[in-house]
């Protein structure tokens, strides 16, 4: 079942003039037709980079926990995750995690890149961690690289530059005093 109506590529004939002459302008004007081949050709010409991308690689989609929502559970899989509300649970994704200003996350995090602009209570394992000026991290951080903005707050043990953060199989447990076990 289609959710849209396909319009033929051939131009539609113009409507015959009305004898009464009182038709609205929207009905009197001929409708423009949709030429799918012309649109695809124009988009291909505008974006030549698309040919350089491998056909097998699919773009990662982003999932959003919007502000005003509070969710408890576990997130795992591929794709990017953006938290703007409250989430309690572990996040293990083969993509990026972004915690927006005003958002709260409590749980372990494993992702390619993590941006903390809200509050995160839990340990982080990622290739890159970015803590913005409004970000708060309470937990241990293991990353290849880390960027900490002036004004942000952190409490915990931080290891970076060793190159094995996201791939390490060991899991740190946060004791609440900044020490990992």
What does the domain layout of the chain look like in residue ranges? 62-160
Q: What is the CA radius of gyration of the chain?
A: 26
Q: Cα separations (Å) of 133 from 27, 136, 159?
A: 55, 9, 20
- CA 59, distance to chain mean position in Å, is 11
The residue ranges of DSSP E strands in 37-108, in sequence order, are 62-65, 70-72, 75-78, 80-83, 86-88, 91-94, 96-99, 104-106
Q: Kindly state the DSSP code that residue 52 receives in the 8-state scheme.
A: G
**pLDDT of the chain, 181 residues: tens digit per residue:** 455 555 555 555 555 555 555 544 444 444 444 444 444 554 454 444 444 444 434 578 899 999 999 999 999 999 999 999 999 999 999 999 999 999 999 999 999 999 999 999 999 999 999 999 999 999 999 999 999 999 999 999 999 987 654 444 444 454 455 544 4
Q: What pTM value is reported for the model?
A: 0.60
**28, containing H or E segment:** helix 25-28
Rounded to an integer, what distance in angstroms lies between the CA atom of residue 78 and that of residue 137?
24
Rounded to an integer, what distance in angstroms lies between the CA atom of residue 166 and that of residue 128?
9
């Amino acid at each position: 079942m289609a959710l849209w109506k396909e319009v033929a590529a051939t131009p539609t004939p113009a409507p015959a003039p009305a004898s009464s002459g009182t038709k609205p302008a929207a009905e009197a004007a001929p409708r423009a037709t949709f030429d799918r081949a012309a649109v695809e050709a124009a988009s291909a010409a505008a974006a030549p980079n698309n040919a350089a991308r491998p056909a097998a690689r699919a773009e990662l989609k982003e999932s959003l926990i919007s502000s005003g929502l509070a969710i408890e559970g576990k997130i795992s899989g591929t794709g990017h995750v953006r938290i703007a509300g409250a989430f309690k649970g572990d996040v293990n994704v083969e993509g990026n995690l972004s915690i927006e200003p005003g958002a709260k996350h409590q749980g372990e995090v494993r992702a390619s890149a993590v941006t903390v602009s809200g509050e995160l209570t839990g340990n982080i394992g990622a290739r890159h961690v970015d803590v913005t000026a409004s970000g708060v991290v309470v937990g241990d951080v293991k990353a290849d690289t880390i960027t900490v903005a002036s004004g942000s707050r952190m409490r915990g043990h931080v290891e970076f530059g060793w190159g094995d953060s996201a791939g390490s199989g060991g899991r740190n447990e946060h004791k609440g005093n900044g020490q990992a076990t």
